[in-house]
Amino acid sequence: MPSATLDKALDLRSGRERPGQFWKIDLDAIDFSTLKAAPPSDPQIVAPSKPGLIACGLDAAKRDHAEIFNRAFGSVSGSLNDKFAALSAALCNTGAFVYIPPDQAVDDPIEITYTTKNGALFPHTLVVVDRGARCTIIERIEGDSADAVCGIAEIVAAEGASVTYAAEQNLPLESQAFFTRAASPGKDASVTWCIAEVGAGLSVSRIDVLVDHPGVDAHLNGFFFPRQDQHVDMVSTIRHNVGESQSQTLIKSAATGRGQARYLGNIRIAPHAQGTEASLRDDALLLSPRAHIDSVPALEIGANDVKAFHGATIGALDENLIFYMESRGIEREAAEKMIALGFFEPVVERFPTAAMRDRLRAALEAKIA
């Protein structure tokens, strides 16, 4: 990668708020130039056998499927002018390419696993779903090393396509994770993001859906749970650039110990995007007096014939509910755990596959223990 491309990425600003009373980390002060990148490699990819389905590493995609790959690669994430996406593109050393041919229904999930070892990972996952096709992608980011991960995931979905992309980040607390995820659905297409930011001492993520065609149905489901000294910074934006489309955003978060987090959820409806329906719900639970979560839902509405709303709550465990459970013979610690796990269930149940949901429930239970 030309050094000019990397220099440009390093010079970009993060666009995130500067440190304040609660947020202690200056994302623009992180020195990415000192990161040691891991040698190039392919992730582990498990895919069902379907006619025309392609699931391979980036090098194989560039070599064997150049026409599809070149048309889609960077077409969504490249337009965001995002610092961390630019860094991932400049230092990309691993990645996966998935292509679903027209009208192909892939019911079994395609699983992609990135594992940290021997240096920082800069993965790029590109999913191209052709007209009328559907698929489910499960991305796992894990490992035992303290290496950083700075990645991109982008979805290009054609007319009438349906894509569910679930990402599970469970890195060690010594790690840092930076992810940019973006989707461009075509006319009458459906895109669903399911994001679980479970691990890493610092987790920074951005999720964008660009609604440029009518009939789009976009869903964003996510949760995070910082504990000890973990920090999470999540921003999501649904951009309704045309009308007659809909979106739903559901975010659940909790914090314990000295965990810190902030979530900024944007819904932007252009002046000519009449007939848009959009909603955003963000609920946060504080389980420690030293924990802190900032919740900032935002609506930018330029059209007048729309249905749009947002809501956010931040609070502690309900003492009345705890008392009720104790009166039924449940010890306080067990009652608190049950309530906290139940708090996350509305979003966990939206993740695909029973195995993934069981892993996420176990990870949440371990944080509460």
Q: Report pLDDT digits (tens) over 144-192.
A: 888 899 999 999 999 999 999 999 999 999 999 999 999 999 999 999 9
Radius of gyration, alpha carbons of the chain: 20
Q: Which whole number is the average pLDDT over 258-276?
A: 93
pLDDT of residue 225: 94
- Highest average pLDDT, of 18-32, 226-240, 299-313, comes from 226-240
Token representation of residue 225: 């749970």
Nearest Cα to Cα of residue 101 among 130, 80, 126, 132: 130
Question: Which pLDDT does position 1 carry in this prediction?
Answer: 43
pLDDT of residue 213: 96
Kindly state the tokens that stand for 367: 């944080």
**Alpha carbons 130 and 98: distance in angstroms, whole number:** 11
**pLDDT per residue as tens digits for the range 293-340:** 988 888 899 988 898 888 888 777 676 777 667 677 777 777 777 778
Q: Decide: helix, strand or coil at residue 234.
A: strand
pLDDT at 209 over 70: yes
CA 356 to chain centre: 15
For the record, the structure tokens of 218 come out as 């976009």
Question: In the predicted model, what is the mean pLDDT of residues 201-216?
Answer: 96
pTM, to two decimals? 0.93
What pLDDT is recorded for position 355? 96
**Alpha-carbon torsion (331, 333, 338, 343), positive or negative:** positive
Contact 150, 91 (CB under 8 A): yes
pLDDT category of residue 104 using cuts at 50, 70 and 90 = very high
Tokens (6 digits) for 83: 């610092």
Cα separation, 213 vs 187, whole angstroms: 5
Q: Which residues pair with 193 in a beta bridge?
A: 165, 220
For 114-153, give one letter per residue: b (16+ CB within 10 A) or e. Answer: bbbeeebbbbbbbbbbbbbbbbbbbbbbbbebebbbbbbb
Helices marked H in 287-353: 319-327, 332-348
pLDDT band at 21 (very low <50, low <70, confident <90, very high): low
Query: Chain-wide mean pLDDT for the chain?
Result: 90
Q: How far is CA 25 from the centre of its chain?
A: 20
Of 111-120, 327-336, 346-355, least confident by mean pLDDT is: 327-336
pLDDT range class, residue 19, cuts 50, 70, 90: low
Which residue type, as a one-letter code, is found at position 235? V
End-to-end CA distance of the chain: 45
Res. 238: pLDDT tops 60: yes
Cβ neighbour number for residue 104 with a 10 Å cutoff: 18
Cβ density class 258-297: b for 16+ within 10 Å, e for less: bbbbbbbbbbbbbeebeebbbbbbbbbbbbeeebbbbbeb
Reported as a single tens digit per residue, the pLDDT across 50-97 is 999 999 999 999 999 999 999 999 888 877 888 899 999 989 999 999
Full residue range of the structural domain in which residue 46 is found:
3-368
β-bridge partners, 139: 112, 167
Check whether 348 has a pLDDT greater than 80: yes
Rounded Cα gap, residues 79 and 316, in angstroms: 39
Residue 18 three-state SS: coil
How much is the average pLDDT of 268-289? 92
Beta-sheet strands, E only, within the chain: 44-46, 54-57, 94-100, 110-116, 123-129, 134-143, 149-157, 162-169, 176-185, 190-197, 202-211, 217-224, 231-240, 246-255, 260-269, 277-286, 292-301, 307-315
Number of domains in the chain: 1
Worst-scoring range by mean pLDDT, 206-220, 253-267, 310-324?
A: 310-324
